[in-house]
Amino acid sequence: DTGVSQNPRHKITKRGQNVTFRCDPISEHNRLYWYRQTLGQGPEFLTYFQNEAQLEKSRLLSDRFSAERPKGSFSTLEIQRTEQGDSAMYLCASSHFSGNTIYFGEGSWLTVV
Amino acid sequence: EDKVVQSPLSLVVHEGDTVTLNCSYEVTNFRSLLWYKQEKKAPTFLFMLTSSGIEKKSGRLSSILDKKELFSILNITATQTGDSAVYLCAALLGSQGNLIFGKGTKLSVKP
């Protein structure tokens, strides 16, 4: 499978715990995006990387959220001190430098209880 | 503020019907308009539209963009139950290649 890969696919955590999601983009894609989607809404942009550089962060990305892409390949999204409002599907996507056609992974569902 | 608005938000039809989904956008640095289909998992790519008036087709699905009026439509002819999904419209911004999504149209096709 050469698509965008995300894990874990599902995570249930207690409020206050930290969680980390991993994304492996399509291998030749140098742009990587994180989005968040809640029920009944379209995906909302969180942040994006070009190679290892994080070039933009949404205002939605509070200080409890941090994303890295240390070698310009896979990326991690960490949420510290989770809150119930963090419950959502976290989507990773990747594209070529041109940005044309962004492909999404299967998503990581987070439930904070 | 950049925004993408889709209508209707939900739609129920019977197999064989033709449907038209609408998407309007107001964004800065617009590059392209993308349509995705989402079935309880990640969005899957359908179309990317960059030029006005050029229809793109894939089987029973077709889409067109009007850059003057800032909208796009997605048509599905002879609908099937397998077309039931949320259809997302997104504006691709020029500088970073970021997508601004609408809320989606939930299509339900009854047998």
The residue-averaged pLDDT of A26-55 equals 91
Residues 6+ positions from B1 with CB-CB distance below 8 Å: none
- Confidence band (pLDDT; 50, 70, 90) for B6? very high
Distance from CA of A100 to the nearest CA of B (A): 7
Cross-strand partners of B88? B36
Name the residue among B90, B97, B102 with its Cβ closest to that of A95: B97
In this predicted structure, the answer to whether residue B26 has a pLDDT above a threshold of 90 is: yes
Can you give the pLDDT at residue A21? 98
Can you give the pLDDT at residue B89? 97
Give A86's DSSP letter.
G
Q: Kindly compute the dihedral angle of the four CA atoms of residues A34, A110, B25, B15, in this order, to the nearest 10 degrees.
A: 120
The residue-averaged pLDDT of B43-56 equals 91
Do β-strands A75-79 and A19-24 pair in parallel, antiparallel, or remain unpaired? antiparallel
Instruction: Record the tokens describing residue A92, joined without a space.
Output: 């990773």
Mean pLDDT is lowest, of A11-25, A80-94, B28-42, B76-90, for B28-42
Give B59's DSSP letter.
T
The residue-averaged pLDDT of B40-46 equals 87
Name the residue among B32, B97, B102 with its Cβ closest to that of A31: B97
Can you give the pLDDT at residue A96? 84
The phi and psi torsions of B89 (rounded to 5 degrees) equal -110, 140
| A42–B103 CB contact, under 8 Å | yes
